[in-house]
A and B are shown apart, each in its own frame.
Chain A
């Protein structure tokens, strides 16, 4: 039996990287997906098409910019209008801003926190309200190793990802008696467009402390999200799962 058979999931950030891979793994494991994306691409449209045929699930793409709260609310209303139970929310979408503290403007901080924190809170509020009706659900955030250990040159990103860890723990406490589990995954250095923006030197430096001497693949994170989204983790809540090749 597939891990997520018959479940309905919201996955954000499906346009590329970890989000797209999560949409793929969720579909392969039998879940229907509302795929939140920034904008359509040929690759994405083709992928959605082939996954639907191959896996016998539906995938509904919703295109909007998480910088725009009104657009986000409009997308959430579309999800509500489907009147289906929602089992999983995977908050994957995120942006980074690579700059030293003194080079990071307040505007940069606001921009990063809007996508990496505030928009996620907005989406999670809406979706967990729907989950409350069924008294079950699993919410997952993507934090980062940068939030756990800090990372020179990523002040805004690491701070926002750190805020997500706190929010995750508080939410897990608030929602536990409603049957909703809330966890987070902290990836190490994953091979995506986001880390390709780093210099080779920066990437190598990040990998020095890893035991497994390779970049993580989006699938490594997507598999962890599938596990935390599934009933196989039914006794896990309030946890930060580090998927980082053994970084300290």
Chain B
């Protein structure tokens, strides 16, 4: 079902590409004819193999880019590496993020808030600034931010995480307004719960509650989120900007 030339000849940057939704995006983009700078923190044998297989199977190039979003210097080197390839950047998928161990507001230290915002908000903004700067030169581009229904519905218990995602929903809309005149669209996807390591780190109870709150009464396959990201990244969504699309099995 995934083979489709929807992104033929485009070049994309995907963060957190080694697992979960990011890995599903990497696989789907490659299968759709898209070259990818696949960003993640550290190399691993499994990831290297995956990249090699995808390149061969789909005749695209995939360039792994290793850096820690929390490290500004590493990020700068990564951007340099991307720039040195001298290929235009069409798509940026800001997927990488960190979760929070479930705790109530009163139990969440400011330290935890800062740490989560550092990665889920500030690093996203910093990286987006570098990359959209490259997009501005071509006067075209599409940015897709991973929000979360937790950032829109605020059901309690994961305040630092949900507040960071709510901040990204705002960032998405403001970026859309500011970058539109450069031909850059910016949208967000708000997944419900997907079958990923991150979701598995939630308490059983939290997972069951989210599942029960959805009309479909099931957890998403990461691929079902990746197809939404691909739609927003593609030219099929050329009149959409500043939108947050919920892929949540029907929660609100």
A217: chain B residues within 8 A (beta carbon): 239
B242 on the interface (CB 8 Å rule)? yes
Query: Which has the most chain B C-beta neighbours within 10 Å: A220, A221, A226, A234?
Result: A234
B191 to chain A, nearest CB (A): 8
B104 on the interface (CB 8 Å rule)? no
B226 to chain A, nearest CB (A): 9
Name A174-221 residues within 8 Å CB distance of B.
176-177, 181, 188, 211-212, 216-217, 220-221
Q: Please give the number of chain A residues whose Cβ is less than 8 angstroms from any Cβ of chain B in the complex.
A: 35
Check B250 against A238 for contact (C-beta < 8 Å).
yes
**CB-CB under 8 A for A211 and B180, given A217-B239, A226-B236, A235-B220:** yes
Stretch at the interface among B92-100, B199-207, B227-235: B227-235
A70 on the interface (CB 8 Å rule)? no
**CB-CB under 8 A for A223 and B245, given A176-B215, A238-B252:** no
Check A245 against B239 for contact (C-beta < 8 Å).
yes
B221: chain A residues within 8 A (beta carbon): 235
Check B3 against A1 for contact (C-beta < 8 Å).
yes
A72: chain B residues within 8 A (beta carbon): none
Which of B217, B227, B236 makes the CB contact (< 8 A) with A177? B217
Check B242 against A211 for contact (C-beta < 8 Å).
yes
A12 on the interface (CB 8 Å rule)? no
Chain A residue nearest in CB terms to B249: A235
B177 on the interface (CB 8 Å rule)? yes
Check B252 against A3 for contact (C-beta < 8 Å).
no
B241 on the interface (CB 8 Å rule)? yes
B176: chain A residues within 8 A (beta carbon): 211, 246
Name A1-43 residues within 8 Å CB distance of B.
1-3
9 contacts between A and B (CB under 8 A): A1-B3, A172-B250, A188-B239, A220-B238, A233-B227, A236-B248, A237-B216, A239-B245, A241-B245
- Seen from chain B, the residues whose Cβ lies within 8 Å of a Cβ on chain A are 1, 3-4, 176-177, 180, 185, 191-192, 215-217, 220-221, 224-225, 227-228, 230-231, 236-243, 245-252
